[in-house]
Amino acid sequence: MSLQSFRILGRSGLRVSSLCLGAMTFGEDWGWGASVDETTRIINTYIEQGGNFIDTANIYTNNHSERIIGDVVGKNSSLRTQMVIATKFANNVFPGNPNTGGTGNKSLITNLEDSLRRLQTDYIDLYWIHSWDFSTPMEETMRSLDNAVKSGKVRYIGVSDAPAWKIAQAQTAAWFKDWTPFIGLQIEYSLLQRTVEDELIPMARELGLGITPWSPLKGGLLSGKYNRANNGNADGRLKTRNADMQLTEKQLEIIDELQRIAGIHHTTPAAVALSWVNNKPGVTSTIIGVRSVKQLEDNIKATNLLLSADEITSLDKLSAPPPTFLSDYKDLIASMQHGGMEINGFKPEALPLLKNIQPGQY
């Protein structure tokens, strides 16, 4: 596998690379990103390696991220056709103006036009809702997104950071009203954030949304920079934002296992963590955020790394989140429903209370 091994995003015809180049680190405006020159090298290296999928947002580095992408990709017509550019709206880049945030029609149109101008393009390939706006009617948002697609200014739409029930409601409304449906779901997903496996990932797989995880290295915690020896005391974005950070024993156990597996494969802990998430059911393209060409090249190694079943199982067990009501109850439900038989490869124990019931005893 490589960046040139493309995947279909959700229930669509859009082909994207298995690793998406995240653009939250494009520009130094927030204090920890890459310079314009280094960002340009990162984008060009990603493209040279065969990548075609860049993800940004109107708010990233105070919209400098979009402007950098416009300067490198947008104004180059042949390159623009080759690339899939995704950006987001909903967060307010004009504090003090209530109608430039949220997902209402006025906000959507304003932010779409501004993003198109900064990206120096006539259309956006994938337009994400950055986070759900509970103060705007869902119907208004979905109708406005559909209008953006029909205008030709947007090709596909997706949703990020929203509850499963609300996404399901919106997706169902789109189908029944013949509006444009979502094709992608952007969520935090990593060895240190697996609660999405309970509701969001099953929902996405059922409703035709390809998953693009963000923060697959948990902000750098799983990059290999942090370990037992330094106990989180290493330079980086995490340290900048959490000066007194102390790693938990569970985090350290996962990091230890990533280092062990990386040693077997002669690769990096980051590549192991990325390979784990990028090959999970439902995942289409994992978003990587880098601040240097070297970090990018190290992350790309994950596309050629195939973990063994035992290695995946080991990481799964170490990183398993505490059960919720639903995840804790599913095995009991299966015990009552399967009758002790194997179905789709899963054979739970029959519920003890029902074991002695014989045919005809009802």
Mean pLDDT score of the chain: 93
Q: 233 or 333: which carries more pLDDT confidence?
A: 333
State pLDDT tens for residues 101-115.
Answer: 999 999 999 999 999
Within a domain: residue 198?
Answer: yes
Q: Which long-range contacts (CB under 8 A, 24 or more apart) does 307-310 make?
A: 307/261, 307/272, 307/275, 307/276, 307/279
What pLDDT is recorded for position 232?
64
Q: Give Cβ neighbours of residue 189 (< 8 Å, ≥ 6 apart).
A: 196, 201, 211, 213, 214, 215, 216, 277, 280, 283
What pLDDT is recorded for position 340?
79
The answer to whether residues 75 and 11 belong to one domain is: yes
296: confidence class by pLDDT, cuts 50, 70, 90: very high
Per-residue pLDDT averaged across 289-298, rounded? 96
Q: How far is CA 275 from CA 204, 262, 324, 330, in A?
A: 20, 11, 26, 27
The answer to whether residues 305 and 337 belong to one domain is: no
3, pLDDT greater than 80 = yes
Residue 3 and residue 45 in contact, taking contact as beta carbons nearer than 8 Å: no
14: confidence class by pLDDT, cuts 50, 70, 90: very high
What pLDDT is recorded for position 25?
97
What pLDDT is recorded for position 87?
98
Give the chain's domain count: 2
Residue 231 and residue 255 in contact, taking contact as beta carbons nearer than 8 Å: no
Instruction: Write down the pTM of the prediction.
Output: 0.92
Within a domain: residue 148?
Answer: yes
Q: Point out the domain boundary residue: 303, 319, 335.
A: 319
What pLDDT is recorded for position 149?
98
Domain ranges, residue 154: 6-319
Which residue carries 């790693």 as its tokens?
A: 247
CATH of the domain at 71: 3.20.20.100
The answer to whether residues 199 and 181 belong to one domain is: yes
The answer to whether residues 77 and 11 belong to one domain is: yes
| Both structure tokens of 161 | 């950071």
Q: Give Cβ neighbours of residue 72 (< 8 Å, ≥ 6 apart).
A: 39, 40, 43, 44
334: confidence class by pLDDT, cuts 50, 70, 90: confident
- Of the chain, the percentage scoring pLDDT greater than 70 comes to 93
User: What residues are labeled active site?
Assistant: 60
Within a domain: residue 1?
Answer: no
330: confidence class by pLDDT, cuts 50, 70, 90: confident
The answer to whether residues 301 and 361 belong to one domain is: no
**How far is 154 from 169, CA to CA, in rounded Å?**
22
| Both structure tokens of 211 | 């998953």
150: confidence class by pLDDT, cuts 50, 70, 90: very high
234, pLDDT greater than 70 = no
238, pLDDT greater than 70 = no
